[in-house]
A = this chain, B = another copy of it.
Amino acid sequence: MTDLSFFKVERDDGVVHIAMDRPDKANSMTPDFWIELPSLLELFGSDETVRCAIISGEGKHFTSGMDLATFSTIATLFESEPGRAALALREMILRLQHTFTAIEKARFPVIAAVHGACIGAGVDMITACDLRIASADAFFAIEEIHIGMAADVGTLQRLPKLIAPAIAAELAYTGRRFQADEAKSMGLVSSLYGDRQALIDGAWELARSMAAKSPLALAGIKRNLAYSRDHSVADGLDYIATWNGGMLRASELMTAVQAKMSKTQPAFDNLLADQPASRR
């Protein structure tokens, strides 16, 4: 992680805090952003001591979204034959999407801690997170409609599966700005904090409490919520039965039940370090 140019990372108590660190550019997402984020998440995914992550932004704003450099790349693509450009653009969009899907694929929960602006691709990003908290000054907008495009890195797909779809549609069509308290009342954000510092402190507290849970249970909740979102209830029930068949184990469960009954805090071991044949 010594060669990060977009993010800075702090670690403590099983929590990694990934901060976007281009405060002078409102953390607009440069090419580095799209490469570093999935790399970080893959790295932490194979580190058994990581149990929860926070994503935040340095400076006055969480993020102003896509950097202009990305748009220039698109312009370059279109200097050639349009059919081939369409295929190349499709593949580029798939790759940008991959960055946020990496959040969804991470084994551990990821908390977005939002202050100031969270615009455009910023909204795409936080919809791929597991929990979203914000400071009172946070504001949001699905701005893509203003520049003549349908948002294509996740907002249209994930937001209507987080909040009431009627509200998501209205936000996508109008591109209007909405404030932290409205985001809270629609369920997009689960807690509000007074200012950025309180937000970051709150994020750490929430993340530490998550990191104290069973990492196996967290992974199970995360994967099963994503699976259930995309399948019928019957399919979802079969999937979690199959999942817990292998991953719920008597010893840990009994220990936890007993700890709970004696009102002590159960301790949960880390996962197994992840070193399969194909990576050694």
Contacts and interface: CB of A to CB of B under 8 A. Distances in A.
Contact of A186 (B157, B168, B187): B187
Given A149-B244, A252-B148, A95 B278 contact: yes
Interface size class of A (residues with CB under 8 A): 35 or more
A250 B86 contact: no
A87 B166 contact: no
Interface in A116-135: 130-132
Nearest to A238: B94
Q: Which of A84, A99, A213, A236: most chain B CB closer than 10 A?
A: A84
A218 to B, nearest CB: 7
Contacts of A278: 31, 34-35, 92, 95-96, 99
26 contacts: A74-B253, A75-B254, A77-B250, A81-B249, A82-B82, A82-B249, A83-B249, A86-B246, A87-B246, A90-B246, A95-B276, A96-B278, A104-B233, A145-B217, A148-B253, A148-B266, A149-B214, A149-B217, A154-B233, A156-B236, A160-B228, A161-B165, A164-B164, A231-B232, A234-B234, A242-B243
Given A169-B131, A277-B70, A150 B220 contact: yes
Interface in A195-233: 206, 209-210, 213-214, 216-221, 224-233
A138 interface: no
Contacts of A160: 225, 228-229
Contact of A148 (B70, B73, B146, B256): B256
A44 interface: no
Give 10 nearest A-B pairs by CB, closest first.
Answer: A246-B246, A90-B245, A150-B220, A148-B214, A230-B232, A86-B246, A157-B236, A83-B249, A164-B187, A92-B276
Per assembly, the copies of the chain total 6
A147 interface: yes
A141 to B, nearest CB: 12
A272 B221 CA distance: 27
Contact of A93 (B80, B109, B147, B240): B240
B249 A247 contact: no
A85 interface: yes
Given A156-B225, A242-B243, 16 more contacts: A31-B278, A34-B277, A83-B246, A84-B272, A87-B271, A89-B245, A146-B213, A147-B253, A147-B260, A150-B224, A150-B243, A152-B248, A156-B224, A163-B165, A172-B221, A226-B233
